[in-house]
Amino acid sequence: MGFSLLLLPAIGGAQELYTYTVGVLGGIGGSFDADPGGSFGNKGFQLNLGLVTEPYTHLVLRTGKLALDRDRLFGTLSGADMKYVTIGGEYRYSERFYESGVFAALGAYQLNGTQASGRDVRDQTWGVSVGFTGELPIKPWLGVQAELSGHYVNFKEAQFFAMAHAGVVFHF
């Protein structure tokens, strides 16, 4: 049983030109319902770790951080940021010059900030995300990727977030 689990990535990779993907992306984002703090010009970064499970089907772990400090306040917090880790399925479509895809994921989210009283706040909860992705291959082992994602997280300060990321991906 254990040996067959070790072969799973090799079997999935046999139908693609690669088995694993590592993506490093920068981006912007914000919250639809934060008041104040509804700016979408907040900067962030994301690391994608992917595994090909079947042709055009990937299991992807995304982890990142979104600074929520573009406006002076994010709800009742100053100096706020959101950290997250999601894992989910991604289905890709092969186009003539690029690949496009859709994904859905479950994740753990953490909102950090400081209240006006000076008290540090750390709100942690589960959430879900959905999104669209596209990759333009440069070499068999290198590509440029862009993503748009929406997140629902039940924080006290805000629940609906959107992010856009772009960066490089490495395949092996």
The domain spans of the chain are: 2-171
Q: Does domain 2-171 have CATH number 2.40.160.20?
A: yes
Q: Which residue has the tokens 């934060």?
A: 34
Structure pTM?
0.88
Q: Where are the alpha helices (DSSP H) in the chain?
A: 2-13
- Alpha-carbon gap, residue 98 to 153, rounded angstroms: 31
Decide: 152 and 86 in contact? Cβ < 8 Å: no
Mean residue pLDDT across the chain: 92
pLDDT digits (tens, 9 = 90+) for 86-128: 999 999 999 999 999 999 999 999 999 999 999 999 999 999 9
DSSP code of residue 2: H
Cβ within 8 Å of residue 117, ≥6 positions away: none
pLDDT score, position 15: 53
pLDDT score, position 13: 41
Read off the amino acid at residue 72: R
pLDDT digits (tens, 9 = 90+) for 34-61: 989 888 999 999 999 999 999 999 999 9
